[in-house]
Chains A and B, each alone.
Chain A
Amino acid sequence: KDKDKSASKDSTPEGAAKRQDGAETPKQQLLDIIGNMKVEVSYRKKLQQLKASENKKRAMNKLEGPDNEGSVPQGITEDTQRGRPLNPELVKAASAVASSLPRNKKQTESELLAQLRRHEETTDKQRKGGTINIRDVISEMTIKRQSPNHREVRMSGRISLQLDEDGQRLRRERSSAQSMDSRRYLSLKVGKRLNIFTKASTEPEHALKTVSSPTIWDLEFAKEVAAVTAQPPRNGFEEMIQWTKEGILWEFPIDNEVGMEDDAEFHEHIFLDKHLEGFPKEGPIRHFMELVICGLSKNPYLSVKQKVEHIEWFQKYFEEKKELLQEI
């Protein structure tokens, strides 16, 4: 049944696979093709790594594109790139697929072949360097059947995206902006300006003017209004809002420094020598105070005020004990 294929560098495993299919049922053919596909993917990737040139890479990408598909038409699309018109093997494979699928066989077969022809067209365009409008392609394709056609539609979109990544993205974007269907996407600069985000609108500044200190009647009125309008919370969110306002619930994202207003710089925390002026310059007391200061400078939990108070307390204490110290 199978014909011998023309010898090409990548086709040897495939050719072997095709030749094996000889006397088996179409289903067996399918399974064999699928099974061989797995091997060929890895082989293809190895080839890709070896060859560095762009043209070859392109060809490999085209091959890899169809390789990413899970379904059978992989082998079929590879074949198309070898021969321009749809190969007889291709047709045969399509018929095999159609026969394997549970639905209307002739229709699936014809649709698969139509898909392949379209795919061929797109690959030809890419080879020539033409741009692709994926959306036109997809919009044209009628999606009746679920599995094979739908998958192929998505795959073709993905394939063209992959190929475009190589270098044609800019071109695609520009052309897409210009030549896209009007119902789909518009460019950024088309349309009337809405003037939502104009800069520096200075209207609301005039509204809030300085008010004199509130009278008692104002406060009472405000209390009344607040009591009336404060409805019980309708849901958990409003309850949490109320709690946050009261201070029961913290504000998220949690600010570790809430309530801690330490305006002092780091040098005020660490270099505390200037507070040691009231102490004698030599002796055990100085030694002791220097240790105290060393400990305070390493303390991140106290504010500068607290540290200064600490030192001043010691100063007072030692002054009271001066007579005792003089006896020593």
Chain B
Amino acid sequence: MAAAALCWALRAARQVLPLPCPRQVRSYHVDWRMLRDVKRRKTAYEYADERLRINAIRKNSILPKELQEAADKEIAALPRDSCPVRIRNRCVLTSRPRGVKRRWRLSRIVFRHFADHAQMSGVQRAMW
């Protein structure tokens, strides 16, 4: 009886508080540009639905043109950081804006560094 209660309490506690485990935690962004990019991604995520719907009204041949012009004005009024075009896929570790491979989100230099130290799973030096 007591054992059952204890088990139940343990289970509850485990759900409430995750077990502590040592992990690599990055508590900073590499530079301010990376921070701004993060902000842009967040606002783009928030306004994504609205932008999609307003654009659906704009890029339309059925609705009247006045409606479409009004929609144009509306979308221009949205915050500038909400458009996805402003997002730049930077390197996750060095914030390098160029030479970034999408699959790993790493710049070419970092990728090479890790691959040579055999820390990239399934990546091998090409030879043929």
Does B31 sit at the interface, judged by CB under 8 A? no
- Chain A 102-152 interface residues, beta-carbon cutoff 8 Å to B: none
A328 to B64, CA, bound (A): 8
Q: Which residues of A contact B66 (CB under 8 A)?
A: 324, 327-328
Contact partner of B13 among A219, A321, A328, CB < 8 A?
A219
Contact partner of B9 among A207, A209, A219, CB < 8 A?
A219
The number of chain B residues with a CB under 8 A from chain A is: 27
- Do A225 and B10 touch (CB < 8 A)? yes
- Chain A 206-231 interface residues, beta-carbon cutoff 8 Å to B: 207-209, 211, 214, 218-219, 221-223, 225-227, 230
A328 to B69, CA, bound (A): 13
Contact partner of A284 among B1, B12, B63, CB < 8 A?
B63
Does A288 sit at the interface, judged by CB under 8 A? yes
A292 to B55, CA, bound (A): 13
A246/B70 contact (C-beta < 8 A), A222-B12, A328-B64 known: no
- Do B21 and A288 touch (CB < 8 A)? no
- What mask results when residues 1 to 20 of chain B are scored 1 for a CB within 8 Å of chain A, else 0? 10011101110111011111
Contact partner of A310 among B8, B53, B62, B70, CB < 8 A?
B53
Interface of A is mostly: helix
- Do A226 and B10 touch (CB < 8 A)? yes
- Do A222 and B13 touch (CB < 8 A)? yes
- Do A208 and B21 touch (CB < 8 A)? no
Q: Which residues of A contact B9 (CB under 8 A)?
A: 214, 218-219, 221-222
A179 to B14, CA, bound (A): 59
- Do A321 and B19 touch (CB < 8 A)? no
Chain A's nearest CB lies how many Å from the CB of B25? 13
A207 to B9, CA, bound (A): 15
- Chain A 167-223 interface residues, beta-carbon cutoff 8 Å to B: 207-209, 211, 214, 218-219, 221-223
Chain B's nearest CB lies how many Å from the CB of A218? 5
Does A23 sit at the interface, judged by CB under 8 A? no
Q: Which residues of A contact B10 (CB under 8 A)?
A: 222, 225-226
A46 to B128, CA, bound (A): 50
- Do B63 and A288 touch (CB < 8 A)? yes
Does A279 sit at the interface, judged by CB under 8 A? no
- Do B14 and A287 touch (CB < 8 A)? no
Does B126 sit at the interface, judged by CB under 8 A? no
- Do A324 and B67 touch (CB < 8 A)? yes
- What mask results when residues 256 to 289 of chain A are scored 1 for a CB within 8 Å of chain B, else 0? 0000000000000000000000000000110110
- Do B4 and A208 touch (CB < 8 A)? yes
Does B60 sit at the interface, judged by CB under 8 A? yes
- Do A284 and B62 touch (CB < 8 A)? yes
Q: Which residues of B contact A314 (CB under 8 A)?
A: 53
- Do B53 and A230 touch (CB < 8 A)? no
9 contacts between A and B (CB under 8 A): A207-B4, A219-B12, A226-B10, A246-B18, A284-B63, A284-B64, A314-B53, A317-B53, A321-B67
Please give the residue numbers on chain A whose beta carbons come within 8 Å of chain B beta carbons, in ascending order: 207-209, 211, 214, 218-219, 221-223, 225-227, 230, 242, 245-246, 284-285, 287-288, 291-292, 310, 313-314, 317, 321, 324-325, 327-328
The 8 residue pairs across chains A and B that have the minimum distance between CB atoms: A222-B13, A222-B9, A222-B10, A218-B9, A284-B62, A288-B62, A287-B62, A223-B13
Please give the residue numbers on chain B whose beta carbons come within 8 Å of chain A beta carbons, in ascending order: 1, 4-6, 8-10, 12-14, 16-21, 49, 53, 56-57, 60, 62-64, 66-67, 70
Q: Given A219-B12, A324-B67, list of 15 further CB < 8 A pairs?
A: A207-B1, A209-B4, A211-B5, A219-B9, A219-B16, A222-B9, A226-B14, A226-B17, A227-B20, A245-B19, A287-B62, A291-B62, A317-B57, A321-B67, A324-B66
